[in-house]
Amino acid sequence: MALHIHEACILLLVIPRLVTSAAISHEDYPADEGDQTSSNDNLIFDDYRGKGCVDDSGFVYKLGERFFPGHSNCPCVCALDGPVCDQPECPKIHPKCTKVEHNGCCPECKEVKNSCEYHGKNYKILEEFKPSPCEWCRCEPSNEVHCVVADCAVPECVNPVYEPEQCCPVCKNGPNCFAGTTIIPAGIEVKVDECNICHCHNGDWWKPAQCSKRECQGKQTV
């Protein structure tokens, strides 16, 4: 009777080992979908550190290979720690540049302003123009407008006239001056009334006329 009990105990100890070995068999229990997806992700998102470098398009370059990470980047060399890129000293952009392109390692000016703007109008470099009868202007290479305003002389009359397209006033009737409220021509003596004869100052046309009294010719009574 004791012998049968001992054999039964040995059998019970062997059965769990068989069950455990079968339970962990990959053939009987394949991996679930979650485990498969994780494995596929590892294949898609490979880590290229220490193996190569990747550009903006996803192309892989070998260690030591020279490449451009993107269309507007400087050239790089693939190293163990990643791309080692050139840092050139790019030329300065012209201060009057109106169009800059970034299609290479350095920005490039494609269009420079070659005109001047003055009172809402554009003028070419070195172009001369007259915005008004008294102004003479020029568009300078610095894109700035420099103007000279005419300095008109003092007119030699008290009734100057401004003609169209002329800067300075003109004396259409020649030099003259005031004798009281009367305008008299310069260069001659003018009898302004029965008692006064006047003439203009030479060169000082804005001053009142010089007058001298004569014997008044009064009417005789009968």
Q: Which residues pair with 58 in a beta bridge?
A: none
Reported confidence tier of residue 136, pLDDT bands at 50, 70, 90: very high
DSSP code, position 161:
B
Lookup: tokens for 71: 């269309």
Query: Which segment of 16-20, 58-62, 104-108, 209-213 scores lowest on mean pLDDT?
Result: 16-20
More confident residue, 159 or 213: 159
Q: How far is CA 114 from CA 48, 111, 121, 140, in A?
A: 50, 9, 13, 10
Read off the tokens for 86.
């050139």
Q: What percent of the chain has pLDDT over 70?
A: 74
pLDDT of residue 50: 62
pLDDT band at 217; cut points 50, 70, 90: low
pLDDT at 73 over 90: no
- Who has greater pLDDT, 136 or 103? 136
Task: Return d(Cα 192, Cα 39) in angstroms, integer.
Answer: 121
Is 2's pLDDT higher than 70?
no
Listed ranges 6-15, 104-113, 149-158; the one with the highest mean pLDDT:
149-158
Which pair of structure tokens corresponds to residue 89? 């000293």
Mean pLDDT of 84-110: 82
CA distance 136 to 131: 7
Where is average pLDDT lowest: 5-14, 83-92, 151-160, 185-194?
5-14
Q: Collapse the DSSP code of 23 into the 3-class scheme (helix H, G, I; strand E, B; otherwise coil) and give the result.
A: helix
pLDDT value, residue 48: 57
Per-residue pLDDT, 166: 86
Strands 60-62 and 145-149 come out as: unpaired
Region 61-81: what's the mean pLDDT?
85
Range ranked top by mean pLDDT from 107-111, 197-201, 215-219: 197-201
Distance CA 155, CA 158 (A): 8
Integer Cα distance of 80 and 133 in angstroms: 74
Structure tokens that stand for 14 in this block: 């062997």
Mean pLDDT of all residues belonging to the chain: 76
Q: Name the band, by pLDDT with cuts 50, 70 and 90, for residue 41.
A: very low
Domains recognised in the chain with CATH numbers: 53-111 (no CATH), 115-147 (2.10.70), 153-215 (no CATH)
The pLDDT of residue 78 is above 80: yes
Q: Please tell me which residue, 138 or 202, carries the higher pLDDT value.
A: 138
DSSP H or E run through 77: strand 76-79
In DSSP notation, 164-205 reads: TT-SS-B-TT-SEEEETTEEEETTS-EE-SSSEEEEPPSS-T
